[in-house]
Amino acid sequence: MFRKISLILLMLTFAISEADNGYNLWLQYVQIEDVNVRQAYIEKLNQIVYLNDNETINVALDELNIGLSGMLGLSDVSALVNSEKINNESGLMLATYSTLSDGLKREFKSDFNKINEEGFIIKSVIINNVSQIIITGKTEVAVLYGTFRFLKLLQSHQSLNNLNIIDAPKIQKRVLNHWDNLDRTVERGYSGFSIWDWHRLPDYLDFRYTDYARANASVGINGTVLNNVNANANILTPQYLEKVAALAKVFRPYGIKVYLTARFSAPMEIGGLKTSDPLDEDVISWWKQKVKEVYQFIPDFGGFLVKANSEGQPGPQNYGRNHVDGANMLAEALNPFGGIVMWRAFVYSEHDTTDRAKQAYSEFVPFDGKFKDNVLIQVKNGAIDFQPREPFHPMFGAMPKTPLMMEFQITQEYLGQSTHTVFLPKFYEEVLKTDTYREGKGSTVAKVIDGSLNNQKLTGIAGVSNVGTDINWTGNVMLQANWYGYGRLAWNPDLKAENIANEWIRMTFSNDIAVVKTIEDILLMSHEAVVNYMTPFGLHHIMATGHHYGPGPWVANLSRPEWNPVYYHKADANGIGFDRTEKGSGATDQYAKEVSKEFSNLNSCPEEYLLWFHHLSWEYKLKSGVTLWDGLALKYQEGVNQVKQMVDYWKSLEGKIDQQRFKEVEMLLNIQLKEAKWWRDACLLYFQQFSKKQLPQGVEKSTKSLEEFKNMTFPFAPGN
Ligand code: GCV
């Protein structure tokens, strides 16, 4: 059958939209203003041919329909045709390898050798003297990824001539972690409630589920853990599995697998057993049976994510067993179905008096090589907890016989939540490119994660989602860039944050050079700004209690010592900082010797980690020649100045982007400026009690007293 739809140019006039609520994320597909650019694209797209009849190819065609009709002002773009029926007109062809003609198979052979199952090729070829653009890959999902990449070319106004794009993901499991509870609250969520409407599932399928899948597939995210790591066992009951299955069905065509968190005590809580001991025969067979049941509901279920023996969650240690016993028991149950276990290494105990930063390494590294092949150990980027800046976790590279997956936090628990604009790919990039030196120079964290350093067979990366029911998904349109950027780095951890920012802006806001440059400047300075006004020079965990919103360096009364900010900054009359050298907690010893030496030695320790690894006197001379006290105060001020700059840059965009998003971001940036000053003033007043020094020139004085800051409370702060 051949159906060619003529592409009708709609005479739409371009205008900057007055009200863009941000719902369409980076898949805006606004009409391309320049009629010549539009016409050049249209001439290349006289027909769309697809060679596979498959639900994934159908969603690729749907996306082309939305994208091309929007950007080119075309009416119905859908078309279908068999391979033999390519018309004598230029066009676009979607095809998996198996459906390509023998000639094309030969032509593409070497390209196919360069890609994996999810990799794609976008190539201009001549067939019957007519130029065609072919999007191909080994699987339908690869073709879908290629389709999104093709649309991006148009979204960013690039040429369609002589295309030759070959790209494949470097990491296998690219997942989002939702810390979503079954009552729809989201732990550390600042964008409304959970998008999973559990009560109305499975029969009511919110249109958001499809748009969520489109957004993820557009950046190559291929898995989603639907529920909180602080887990509720009910998710594993048939009542909920039916709902999970309905979501999995929506996501399947987009190449997205569903995962769940497994509460370790589920055999007792929903199974009626007397124990959840991982070595108990009844427990083992309960999990086997449960996993079988899960696969009956969701045949392509991805597996379990587990937080065990951490912050009060149950785990194998409750029965005198260890992480290996727990993870392997679940892995064995999942193995026959191809499922995996993502076992978290975020562990620390109030009964362990050693430095919290050392505990995960001490607990896990001795188990290297002991986990089953379908277990990934999920490690946070740093050893404490998603701080504005942290040195990389010493576990990376330290377990060569175990696949480690990265856990980044996209939601901004410790970074001003959904109010502050912080472009996180800049920080992710910083972590990924750091050299662990575990196998000599060049052993970057990225190579640990993509498995190339130690030839891992299984690889993964997780991002704790910032998505919620807010109309713009992330509570602040600027933070959509973090979801996007996480996905791009999960696909290729060697990408540059700068390029990610550039493409996101073009897709989300505009291709106008002035707009692109301005927003790029804001994004690229934003991470350094937040570090400066919150936690300069390696300070960490000095946020207010519980909700972690705003400063709380004075907090000293919490039941667990390592929950108190004073545990981390250790400010006193002699100075400030946590000594983690061999003279202190010895945490530096957990790194490879080159790194350990670099961090331990004051001459080589990067100043951004100074107080993470050293306790230094207020008089300590920084590289700039000023004292630590003056330097600290100047950094806080610099952070405020940077936000002022961000506000000014943003103001220059008025009239150049739609009014709604302009106004929303403007208001949020103004709050950010107010709160940057709050951070500066509260922290400096507090630390000044110990340093007993005046503020250096150039640092603005607080208009409030320390007491006033201490008395501020936020009883209903979100996400707590
Ligand atoms: C889901 C931090 C957060 C907790 C979170 C925990 C974790 O401690 O404050 O809300 O719990 O990390 O990652 O498990």
What phi, psi does 24 have (nearest 5°)? -80, 5
Q: Residue 640: inside a domain, yes or no? A: yes
Buried b (16+ CB within 10 A) or exposed e, 484-493: bbbbbbbbbb
Between CA 677 and CA 675 the distance in angstroms is: 5
pLDDT, tens digit, 9 for 90 and up, residues 494-534: 999 999 999 999 999 999 999 999 999 999 999 999 999 99
pTM of the entire predicted model: 0.97
Same domain, 241 and 159: no
Q: What is the CATH number of the domain that holds 29?
A: 3.30.379.10
Same domain, 179 and 154: no
pLDDT of residue 4: 37
| Residue 311: active-site member | yes
pLDDT, tens digit, 9 for 90 and up, residues 533-552: 999 999 999 999 999 999 99
Q: Residue 597: inside a domain, yes or no? A: no
Looking at residue 659, its amino acid is Q
| Residue 390: active-site member | no
> Ligand 1: distance of its center to the CA of 411 in Å?
11
Q: Which two tokens stand for residue 707?
A: 């007491």
Same domain, 437 and 364: yes
Domain boundary among 167, 183, 205: 167
Same domain, 79 and 180: no
Q: Residue 150: inside a domain, yes or no? A: yes
Domain boundary among 152, 167, 182: 167
Between helices 425-432 and 513-534, what is the axis angle to 10°?
Answer: 70
228 Cα nearest atom in ligand 1: 1
Q: What is the CATH number of the domain that holds 553?
A: 3.90.1330.10
Between CA 139 and CA 141 the distance in angstroms is: 5
Same domain, 127 and 196: no
The one catalytic residue in 63, 180, 363, 413 is 413
Same domain, 140 and 177: no
| Residue 363: active-site member | no
Q: Residue 716: inside a domain, yes or no? A: no
CA atoms within 13 A on the CB side of 457: 6
> Ligand 1: distance of its center to the CA of 468 in Å?
18
Read off the DSSP letter of residue 306. E
Read off the DSSP letter of residue 563. G
Q: What is the CATH number of the domain that holds 477?
A: 3.20.20.80
229 Cα nearest atom in ligand 1: 1
Q: Residue 651: inside a domain, yes or no? A: yes
The one catalytic residue in 385, 407, 520, 658 is 385
Q: Which two tokens stand for residue 110?
A: 């070497």
Question: Which residues are CB-neighbours of 701 under 8 A, at least 6 positions away?
Answer: 695
Same domain, 110 and 247: no
Task: Work out how many domains the chain is built from and give that number.
Answer: 3
pLDDT, tens digit, 9 for 90 and up, residues 300-335: 999 999 999 999 999 999 999 999 999 999 999 999
Same domain, 308 and 455: yes
Q: Per-residue pLDDT averaged across 414-433, rounded?
A: 98
pLDDT of residue 669: 98
Q: Which two tokens stand for residue 713?
A: 């409370």
Give the residue ranges of DSSP H helices in 73-122.
102-113
Q: Residue 234: inside a domain, yes or no? A: yes
What residues are in contact with ligand 1 under a 6 Å CB criterion? 179, 187-188, 229-230, 307, 311, 346, 385, 413
Q: Per-residue pLDDT averaged across 90-104, rounded?
A: 92
Buried b (16+ CB within 10 A) or exposed e, 557-594: eeeeebbbbbbbbbbeeebbbbbbbeebbbbbbbbbee
What is the share, in percent, of the chain residues with pLDDT greater than 90? 91
Q: Supply the range of the domain harboring residue 684.
A: 532-578+615-710
409 Cα nearest atom in ligand 1: 13
Q: How many residues does the chain have?
A: 720
187 Cα nearest atom in ligand 1: 10
- Distances, alpha carbon 701 to alpha carbons 683, 688, 695, 696, 697, in Å: 12, 12, 8, 10, 10
Mutation to probe ligand 1, out of 177, 185, 188 (largest number of atoms < 8 A from CB): 188
pLDDT of residue 187: 98
Query: Regarding beta strands 164-167 and 120-127, do their DSSP bridges make them parallel or antiparallel, or are they unpaired?
Result: antiparallel
CA atoms within 13 A on the CB side of 583: 10
Q: Residue 519: inside a domain, yes or no? A: no
Q: Per-residue pLDDT averaged across 565-585, rounded?
A: 97
Q: Residue 608: inside a domain, yes or no? A: no
Mutation to probe ligand 1, out of 378, 385, 541 (largest number of atoms < 8 A from CB): 385
> Which residue from 146, 151, 152 is spatially nearest to 167, judged by alpha carbons?
146
Mutation to probe ligand 1, out of 181, 307, 311 (largest number of atoms < 8 A from CB): 311
Q: Determine the 3-state secondary structure of 92 from DSSP.
A: strand
Cα-atom radius of gyration of the chain, to the nearest Å?
A: 26
pLDDT of residue 84: 47
> Ligand 1: distance of its center to the CA of 210 in Å?
28
Domain boundary among 167, 182, 197: 167
The one catalytic residue in 269, 300, 311, 512 is 311
Same domain, 191 and 67: no
pLDDT, tens digit, 9 for 90 and up, residues 456-502: 999 999 999 999 999 999 999 999 999 999 999 999 999 999 999 99
Question: Which residues are CB-neighbours of 442 under 8 A, at least 6 positions away?
Answer: 435
Residue nearest to atom 2 of ligand 1 (CA): 385
Same domain, 283 and 303: yes
> Mind giving me the DSSP string for 228-274?
-SS--GGGGSHHHHHHHHHHHHHHGGGT-EEEEE--TTHHHHTT--S
pLDDT of residue 502: 98
> Which residue from 66, 74, 73 is spatially nearest to 24, judged by alpha carbons?
66
> Which residue from 569, 552, 581, 584 is spatially nearest to 618, judged by alpha carbons?
569
> Ligand 1: distance of its center to the CA of 565 in Å?
16
Same domain, 132 and 149: yes
pLDDT of residue 13: 37
| Between 52 and 676, the higher pLDDT residue | 676
pLDDT of residue 17: 62
Same domain, 226 and 92: no
